[in-house]
């Protein structure tokens, strides 16, 4: 597998981010009203302008931006030392190679080491089997299903909650291969 890294977006990432950011297939099935971001918002992202309660990172493989990792924090839903992960690998051709799992591992490790996390959580569509396997492979625990979390047409409504506590991380991270 190629080396995966996380970094802040750069202005030269605009075209790739603009291409993928509002694609409904990237959202893992979560309901969205496209377009979510106008051109000015995408420019703000690639210029790394801070947003409250949300940090965004480019997922990079071989100097190519292939996706985005997000950290949600410090809001009514995320008390201090609790963080929520989000991941999107843009192009379906880049999925299934372990890039998303490695990006989540890097980000989870960073949150426990550098931001004193006590809990890191991630939610996914129950039908997103690859994401569920990736989280479980990292040692995240399936905490259950939030039934009818989303409203709307279609099958999506439920959300599966996964989490890793500091104690979980201390146990499982010994087996992680560090690429930092």
pLDDT at 18: 85
* E strands present in 26-173: 54-61, 64-72, 82-89, 119-124, 141-146, 159-165
Q: What pTM, to 2 d.p., does this model score?
A: 0.85
pLDDT at 156: 64
pLDDT at 96: 92
Secondary structure of 85-119 in HEC code, one letter for each residue: EEEEECCHHHCCCCHHHHHHHHHHHHHHHHCCCCE
pLDDT at 127: 87
Q: Is-contact 1 98, C-beta < 8 A?
A: yes
Superfamily of domain 4-175: Gcn5-related N-acetyltransferase (GNAT) (3.40.630.30)
pLDDT at 179: 47
Q: Any idea where the domains of the chain sit in the sequence?
A: 4-175
pLDDT at 1: 54
Residues in the chain with pLDDT values less than 50: 30, 32-34, 179-180
pLDDT at 75: 77
CA 78 – CA 53 distance, rounded (Å)? 9
pLDDT at 174: 86
């Amino acid at each position: 597998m190629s080396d995966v890294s996380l970094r802040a977006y750069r202005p030269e990432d605009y075209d790739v981010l603009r291409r993928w950011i509002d694609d409904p297939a990237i959202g893992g099935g979560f309901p969205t009203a496209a377009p979510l971001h106008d051109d000015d918002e995408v420019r703000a992202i690639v210029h790394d302008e801070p947003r409250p309660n949300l940090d965004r990172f480019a997922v990079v493989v071989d100097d190519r931006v292939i996706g985005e990792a997000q950290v949600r924090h410090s809001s009514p839903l995320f008390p201090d030392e609790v963080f929520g992960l989000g991941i999107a690998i843009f192009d379906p051709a880049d999925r299934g190679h372990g890039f998303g799992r490695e990006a989540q591992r890097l980000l989870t490790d960073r949150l426990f080491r550098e931001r004193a996390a006590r809990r890191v959580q991630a939610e996914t569509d129950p039908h997103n089997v690859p994401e569920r396997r990736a989280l479980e492979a990292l040692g995240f625990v399936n905490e259950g299903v939030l039934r009818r979390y989303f409203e709307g047409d279609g099958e999506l409504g439920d959300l599966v909650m996964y989490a890793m506590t500091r104690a979980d991380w201390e146990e499982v991270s010994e087996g992680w291969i560090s690429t930092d």
